[in-house]
Each structure stands twice: as C-alpha cells, then as structure tokens.
Amino acid sequence: MKNALILFADGSEELEAVTVINILRRGGVTVTVAGLHAGPLRGSRGTVLLPDTTLDEALAHDYDMVVLPGGQPGTGHLKSDARVLDLVHRMNEAGKQVAAICAAPSVLAVVGLLDGKRATCYPGSLDGFRNVQVETRAVVEDGNIITSRGPGTAMDFALTLLERLAGKAKRNDVEADLVR
C-alpha cells in the first residue's frame, strides 16, 4: 500500500491539507499528518488540527509522497525549517513524489526543485524565482513534482495525487463517489 506524508505548520491552509488527507484516505493510501511541532496546530483560518505525529518522528519512516499545503504564515514556517527543506530535497533525489499547493511551491523553489520545471502556485508566490516556468492551470505535473494554485483547486490537486499513488481507476472510483 502506498503512503503519503502531509506536513502541517501553524498557519497552514487547512482546506488544502484536509482535502488531500480525505481524498487520499478514501483511495486507500496510508496518510501520516506530521506537525512541525508536537500538539494541536492552528491553521490559517483558525481551524485547529491535531497531527498524527511530529515531523521529527515521521522522519524515521519512508514515504512514497510528501505534500506541502500552502497558506500563510504556514508556508513561511515550512520554508524556514531545515528539516522540511532537507526532506523535500531527499524525496526528490530518490525520485519520490513531491507535491505543493498555493504558496508552498515556493518551498520547493528555495531548494532548487523547480529549476527548469513547469509549476503553478498562488499568484505571486513564485515571483523572483526566474528558473521556473509558472503556469496558471489548476494542477501542473512535471516529472515527480506536482503543484497546484490554491484552496479552490484543492480537490483537483488531491485527485491528481491519488491518481499518482493509486492509479487512474482508483481516482475514478473515488471521484464518482464524490458526486462531482
């Protein structure tokens, strides 16, 4: 069974995180939600989430995918955490799936994962990163990197991630049950 690690910091966009968690679990993917620190974390809109574990504990395990929700100041917290930067770099080097939505693609850009790649993000989040071909589609896939624009594209993003991990048939089954 495939597994995914979802990172969550104080100020992360809860709509993006919970949508991905929900869709992947519906599709049979084992999901671990890791907080940057222990205990409950408050999302960008005030919703409190209790992650499954801490990032330090999660780093002892292997994952098929890592997902970074956006939101502010959550993206700033992810971007300034050396453990996060090292994790996404190692996952990319291993050819694993690395996904980010909203402002979080900027975390990938900081470590050079988007150099020469196509990506999308919340408008303006990749300004200043000249080596990225920024597109305005809801979801952009380039190799093992998957990016998305923001809360309004979270469902499309989550379904794309499910397809990457569990295949087109599983995506279609889950999507049909959602009555879209």
Q: Which residues are catalytic?
A: 102
Pairing state between β 139-142 and 145-148: antiparallel
**Rounded to whole angstroms, how far apart are CA atoms 173 and 77?**
35
- What is d(CA 69, CA 15) in angstroms, rounded to the nearest whole number? 9
The two structure tokens encoding residue 107? 């975390």
Cα separation, 54 vs 28, in Å, equals: 22
Please answer whether residues 88 and 66 qualify as being in contact, where contact means their C-beta atoms are separated by less than 8 angstroms. Answer: yes
- Type of residue at 32: T
